[in-house]
């Protein structure tokens, strides 16, 4: 009996459709429960001159108001301890919590918020990477990765191009907003329900801020309605705010952000602005690359240093670059702290090099695919990354070949050129990009997991790990692994609610590696139980239930803990060298777009995605990750745009103004597939992580837009920023038209 490798339906598939699936805010109101909200800073940077909560206190139904004075500690942070839960004298972003309000009703909360008198002296805010650079306002040190002799390579270069890659931020747009309920227990203990990817971090931060011991705080997570990195760190704030109220009032306390507030007060994907200079031969071989990456970290560090490290480790992507210098600096601005978001800096690094390759091709008047395959990492040589890790089991050359064949790239490239020469109304573009995504947390100690397995006498099994379910299917995969270990039907295995009471000091469900690590820990626990059962069985091959009964009567333990620590990984952030990743998940995609020459509106006509995901644990779930990741990335690169007023207020704080992809934005032809292989023996059942990598293949859509513009630009490199919205595309088209007014027709470009 085996369920690994089968498209077992997602655990929650039925519950999500019927509405049975429970989320934090589905919990019925407890007796005495308080509703919680907070007054947040309406200005991006300012000094609080005065704060008066007396009127708010006397609003009927208001139970309590708290400021930072009510916390045992106010300072925390996942990497640098630079973050305040509640603002003290200075506010540094719009949405920063200042006063926590607890009330009997939503009406009372609103009335109290309106009755708080606050006077803030405005200070000069910083909203852009350029301005932060001018003021030298950085978070942490500039980090570097370097190899070879860049100066010598530039001196000897046949061609040099310079430019800047610019991408905007993005909102996570999880359907379920940030949410937490805190229940007070006896003697200051607390139990929290939290919509978090990271129950252990919530536990640690809540205990710290309230001056409790960690063993007094239990945090549980049943599931999240999406997270995408947005609940890796920033679920902690609502949880801590609810916990403060429960701790002080001894009443249950609930906080649930509405969508508009959620979008305004939480951070998102990091905008980047990366200056590059690349040297290459006349036939397109890259000889040197210098990239200075700058991210907009927002007001606090959050995970920005780890995100920058991942961006820096992904600038090479699928390509061997012999001489390279990468620098990464994080700008401190007055936006909400930007945070983890599916890909974690990887997409911003990969987009930088894919955009450069597109530009080299325009410069040399070559097919960009030829430039890409020429520079691709080799199988036995040219296979060492700039930071020194060897690209083992390199499937990239095969992925390029197969993906291009399946997508019929070469024929369609000719068809696109013909179409563009013929059509006066539309413009098409085609691009093929790749991904090589490193799997493991780039913070070594996070690469560990533990599991608890309980076997019952009727043969059923419960398994608990630190993994949290956010829709990605980790629970289903863990069930499959446990069922296979015991050789029982998957229906006999339940994954229990994630709780810090059962699994201690767990890492965030993040870095695509939750199934890898927690699945491995669960299997470790199963094997310990199995070893004891084998002794009881002594070769008799007893049926499962009979064996369990006999073991129980012989007083043999039917439960155990498992542990897993990823082996062989090292990262030296200061020197920028090491083996940070256990393996790479790779892929390739071809996308074709069509642009309306008069409006700039863009449609994806077709995308072909081909990935190496090893031997998938669950091909159905993995296909879901591939399509969802690709579409989410396409949204970031083409639809979703964060707009602010001149004083930094987010204008795009709801789906009416912030455009995430919907069904019409899915490519009209969308082919997803993977090459199955058993080579990835370093990971559980030869599988590979699949959560984040496919997002980066959406860069093929962006490059296809750039390719389309190149048919009009008369040999010049078309500039294009992400997101390439209709408006951005139209502006670029208009620029090109102005320049080309007296230039030859597009056909003469010869592309």
- Interacting residue with ligand LUZ among 369, 511, 525, 722 (CB under 6 A): 511
Binder among 113, 222, 264, 342 for ligand MOS (CB under 6 A): 342
Q: Beta strand 559-565 with 498-499: parallel, antiparallel or unpaired?
A: unpaired
Tokens of 471: 């829709």
Sign of the alpha-carbon torsion through 513, 441, 127, 163 = negative
Looking at residue 664, what DSSP letter applies?
A: G
The residues, any chain, with a CB within 8 Å of residue 30's CB and separated by 6 or more, are: 181, 183, 252
Q: How far is the CB of 552 from ligand LUZ (least distance, A)?
A: 41
Smallest gap from Cβ 470 to ligand LUZ, in A, equals 13
Pairwise CA distance, residues 234 & 522, whole Å: 27
Sign of the dihedral through C-alpha 575, 331, 441, 673: negative
341 scored as a contact of ligand MOS (CB under 6 A): yes
**Cis upstream peptide for 249 (omega within 30°):** no
The footprint of ligand MOS on this chain (CB under 6 A) covers a number of residues equal to 10
By a kind-dependent CB cut-off of 5 to 8 A, residue 240 interacts, out of ligand LUZ, ligand MOS, none, with none
622 binds, among ligand MOS, ligand LUZ, none (CB under 5 to 8 A by kind): none
Q: Return d(Cα 200, Cα 235) in angstroms, integer.
A: 12
Token pair for residue 747?
């056909």
CA distances to 461, 563, 739 from 503, in Å: 17, 10, 63
Whose Cβ is closer to ligand LUZ: residue 223's or residue 269's? 269
Q: Which is nearer to ligand LUZ, 201 or 622 (CB)?
A: 201
Residue 392: other Cβ atoms inside 10 A: 13
Q: What is the closest distance, in whole angstroms, from the C-beta atom of residue 443 to ligand MOS in the complex?
A: 12
Please state the closest distance from residue 511 (CB atom) to ligand MOS, in A.
5
* Residue number, 116 or 439, with CB nearest to ligand MOS: 439
String marking each residue 285-324 x if it binds ligand MOS according to CB under 6 A: ----------------------------------------
Among ligand LUZ, ligand MOS, none, residue 341 binds (CB under 5-8 Å by kind): ligand MOS
Measured from the CB of residue 442, what is the shortest distance to ligand LUZ in angstroms? Answer: 4
Binding to ligand MOS by residue 192, rule CB under 6 A? no
Q: Which is nearer to ligand LUZ, 286 or 301 (CB)?
A: 301
Choose the one of ligand MOS, ligand LUZ, none that binds residue 699, judging by a C-beta under 5 to 8 angstroms depending on kind. none
Q: Which does 597 bind (CB under 5 to 8 A by kind): ligand LUZ, ligand MOS, none?
A: none
441 binds, among ligand MOS, ligand LUZ, none (CB under 5 to 8 A by kind): ligand LUZ
Query: Which of 85, 510, 577, 609 touches ligand LUZ (CB under 6 A)?
Result: 510
Decide which of ligand MOS, ligand LUZ, none touches 442; Cβ closer than 5 to 8 Å per partner kind: ligand LUZ
Instruction: Please tell me the distance from the alpha carbon of residue 211 to that of residue 734, in angstroms, as a whole number.
Output: 60
Q: Are 72 and 210 in contact (CB under 8 A)?
A: yes
Secondary structure percentages of the chain, helix, strand, coil, to 5? 35, 25, 40
As a whole number of angstroms, the distance between CA 225 and CA 24 comes to 10
At closest approach, how far in Å is the CB of 438 from ligand LUZ?
Answer: 8
Q: In the bound complex, which residue of the shown chain has the CB atom lying closest to ligand MOS?
A: 229
Instruction: Give me 18's structure tokens.
Output: 């019927």
Question: What Rg value do the Cα atoms of the chain yield, rounded?
Answer: 27
> Closer CB to ligand LUZ, residue 434 or residue 510?
510
**Closer of 433 and 442 to ligand LUZ (Cβ):** 442
Which of 344, 400, 658, 674 touches ligand LUZ (CB under 6 A)? 344
Q: Which does 170 bind (CB under 5 to 8 A by kind): ligand LUZ, ligand MOS, none?
A: none
Distance (Å, whole) CA 482 – CA 524: 10
> Which residues inside 434-453 make contact with ligand LUZ, applying CB under 6 A?
441-443, 446
Q: Tell me the CA distances in angstroms from 497 to 445, 463, 494, 582, 615, one per residue in order.
A: 24, 9, 10, 28, 27
| 621 vs 697: CA distance, rounded Å | 18
Residue that has been written with the tokens 């952000």 in this structure = 257
Question: Are 514 and 224 within 8 A, CB to CB?
Answer: no
Q: What is the DSSP letter of 636?
A: I
State how far the Cα of 675 lies from the Cα of 679, in Å rounded to an integer: 11
User: Cα(408)–Cα(402) distance, rounded to whole angstroms?
Assistant: 10
Is residue 299 a contact partner of residue 334, using CB atoms and an 8 Å limit?
A: yes
As measured in angstroms, the least distance from the Cβ of 572 to ligand LUZ is 15
CA angle 580, 583, 585 (to 5 degrees): 120
Which of 358, 592, 641, 692 does the annotation list as catalytic?
692
Partner whose footprint covers residue 286, from ligand LUZ, ligand MOS, none (CB < 5 to 8 Å by kind): none
Query: Smallest distance from the beta carbon of 345 to ligand LUZ, in angstroms?
Result: 8
Range 204-243, binding ligand MOS (CB under 6 A): 229, 232
What residues pair up with 194 in beta bridges, in sequence order? 180
- The answer to whether residue 88 is catalytic is no
Residues 507 to 566 in contact with ligand MOS, rule: CB under 6 A: 508, 510-511
Residue list 120-179, contact with ligand MOS (CB under 6 A) = none
* 474 vs 510, beta carbon nearer ligand MOS: 510
Nearest CB to ligand LUZ, comparing residues 198 and 607: 198
340 near ligand MOS, judged by CB under 6 A:
yes
Query: If you search the block for the tokens 């239930």, which residue do you land on?
Result: 545
User: Of ligand MOS, ligand LUZ, none, which one sits near residue 443, judging by CB under 5 to 8 A according to partner kind?
Assistant: ligand LUZ
Residues 270-299 binding ligand LUZ (CB under 6 A) are: none
User: Would you say 294 and 133 are in contact if contact means Cβ atoms under 8 Å apart?
Assistant: yes
DSSP 694: G
Is residue 56 near ligand LUZ by the rule CB under 6 A? no
Evaluate whether 641 touches 652 at the Cβ level (below 8 Å).
yes
Nearest distance from C-beta of residue 579 to ligand LUZ, angstroms: 14
The alpha-helical segments, DSSP class H, found in 431-473 are none
Q: Tell whether residue 344 is a contact of ligand MOS (CB under 6 A).
A: yes
- CA 535, distance to chain mean position in Å, is 45
The span of 504-512, 622-630, 639-647, 697-705 binding ligand MOS (CB under 6 A) equals: 504-512
Give min distance, CB of 242 to ligand LUZ, in A: 24
> How many whole angstroms separate alpha carbon 224 and alpha carbon 177?
9
Minimum Å gap between C-beta 304 and ligand MOS is 12
Q: Which residues contact 611 (CB under 8 A, 6 or more apart)?
A: 399, 585, 586, 587, 588, 626, 673, 674, 675, 690, 693, 694, 697
Residue number, 510 or 611, with CB nearest to ligand LUZ: 510
Contacting ligand LUZ within 186-215 (CB under 6 A): none
Length, in residues, of the chain: 751
CB 169 within 8 A of CB 195: no
Report the residue number, 218 or 689, with the smaller CB distance to ligand MOS. 689
Q: How many binding residues for ligand LUZ (CB under 6 A)? A: 11
Give per-residue burial for 414-434: e unless 16+ CB within 10 Å, then b. eebbeebeeeeebbbbbbbbb
Cβ at position 589, least distance to ligand LUZ in Å? 20
Choose the contact partner of 197 out of ligand LUZ, ligand MOS, none; CB within 5 to 8 A by kind: ligand MOS
Q: Which residues form the interface with ligand LUZ (CB under 6 A)?
A: 303, 306, 310, 340, 344, 441-443, 446, 510-511
> Annotated catalytic sites, by residue?
692
Q: Which residues form the interface with ligand MOS (CB under 6 A)?
A: 197, 229, 232, 340-342, 344, 508, 510-511
């Amino acid at each position: 009996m085996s369920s690994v490798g089968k498209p077992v339906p997602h655990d929650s598939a039925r519950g999500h459709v019927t509405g049975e699936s429970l989320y934090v805010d589905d919990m019925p109101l407890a007796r005495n429960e308080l509703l919680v909200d907070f007054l947040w800073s309406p200005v991006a940077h300012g000094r609080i001159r005065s704060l008066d909560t007396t009127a708010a206190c006397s609003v009927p139904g208001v139970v309590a108001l708290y400021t930072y004075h009510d916390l045992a500690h106010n300072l925390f942070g996942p990497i640098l301890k630079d973050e305040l839960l509640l603002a003290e004298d200075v506010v540094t972003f719009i949405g920063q919590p200042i006063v926590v309000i607890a009330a009997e009703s939503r009406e009372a909360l609103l009335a109290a918020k309106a009755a708080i008198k606050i006077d803030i002296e405005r200070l000069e805010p910083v909203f852009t990477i350029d301005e932060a650079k001018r003021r030298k306002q950085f978070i942490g040190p500039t980090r570097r990765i370097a190899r070879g002799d860049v100066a010598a390579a530039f001196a000897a270069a046949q061609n040099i191009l310079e430019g800047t890659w610019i991408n905007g931020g993005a909102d996570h747009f999880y359907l379920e907003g940030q949410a937490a309920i805190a229940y007070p227990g006896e003697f200051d203990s607390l139990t929290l329900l939290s919509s978090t990817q990271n129950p252990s971090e919530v536990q640690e931060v809540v205990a710290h801020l309230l001056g409790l011991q960690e063993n007094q705080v239990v945090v549980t997570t049943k599931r999240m309605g999406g997270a995408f990195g947005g609940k890796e760190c920033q679920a902690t704030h609502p949880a801590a705010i609810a916990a403060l109220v429960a701790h002080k009032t001894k009443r249950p306390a609930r906080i649930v952000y509405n969508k508009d507030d959620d979008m305004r007060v939480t951070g998102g994907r990091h905008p980047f602005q990366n200056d590059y200079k690349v040297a290459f031969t006349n036939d397109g071989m890259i000889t040197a690359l210098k990239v200075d990456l700058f991210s907009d970290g927002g007001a606090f560090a959050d995970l920005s240093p780890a995100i920058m490290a991942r961006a820096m480790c992904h600038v090479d992507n699928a390509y061997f670059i012999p001489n390279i210098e990468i620098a990464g600096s994080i700008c401190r601005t007055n936006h909400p702290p930007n945070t983890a978001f599916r890909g974690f800096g990887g997409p911003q690094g990969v987009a930088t090099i894919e955009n450069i390759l597109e530009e080299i091709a325009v410069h040399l008047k070559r097919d960009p695919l030829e430039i890409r395959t020429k520079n691709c990492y080799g199988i036995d040589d040219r296979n060492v990354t700039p930071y020194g890790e060897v690209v083992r089991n390199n499937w990239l050359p095969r992925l390029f070949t197969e993906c291009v064949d399946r997508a019929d790239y070469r024929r369609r490239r000719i068809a696109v050129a013909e179409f563009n020469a013929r059509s006066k109304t539309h413009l098409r573009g085609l691009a093929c990009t790749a991904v090589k995504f490193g799997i493991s947390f780039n913070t070594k100690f996070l690469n560990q997991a533990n599991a608890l397995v309980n076997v019952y006498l009727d043969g059923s099994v419960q398994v608990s790990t630190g993994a949290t379910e956010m829709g990605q299917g980790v629970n289903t995969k863990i069930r499959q692994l446990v069922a296979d270990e015991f050789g029982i039907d998957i229906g006999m295995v339940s994954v229990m609610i994630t709780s810090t009471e059962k699994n201690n000091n767990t890492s965030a469900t993040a870095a695509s590696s939750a199934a890898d690590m927690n699945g491995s820990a669960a299997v470790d626990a199963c094997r310990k139980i199995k070893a004891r059962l084998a002794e009881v069985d002594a070769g008799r091959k007893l049926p499962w239930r009979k064996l369990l009964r006999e073991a129980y009567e012989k007083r043999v333990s039917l439960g155990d803990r498992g542990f897993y620590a990823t082996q062989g990984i090292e990262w030296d952030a200061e020197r920028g060298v090491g083996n940070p990743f256990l393996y790479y998940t790779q892929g390739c995609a071809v996308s074709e777009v069509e642009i309306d020459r008069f409006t700039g509106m863009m449609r994806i006509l077709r995308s072909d995605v081909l990935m190496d995901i090893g031997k998938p644990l669950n091909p159905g779930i993995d296909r879901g990750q591939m399509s969802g990741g690709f579409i989410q990335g396409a949204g970031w690169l083409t639809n979703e745009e964060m707009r602010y007023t001149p004083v930094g207020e987010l204008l795009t704080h709801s789906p009416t103004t912030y455009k995430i992809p919907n069904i019409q934005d899915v490519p009209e032809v969308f082919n997803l597939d993977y090459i199955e292989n058993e080579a990835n023996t370093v990971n559980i059942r030869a599988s590979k992580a699949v959560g984040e990598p496919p997002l980066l293949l959406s860069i093929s859509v962006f490059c296809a837009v750039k390719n389309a513009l190149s048919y009009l630009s008369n040999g010049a490199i078309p500039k294009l920023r992400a997101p390439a919205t209709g408006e951005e595309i139209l502006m670029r088209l208009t620029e090109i038209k102005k320049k080309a007014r007296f230039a030859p027709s597009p056909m003469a470009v010869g592309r």
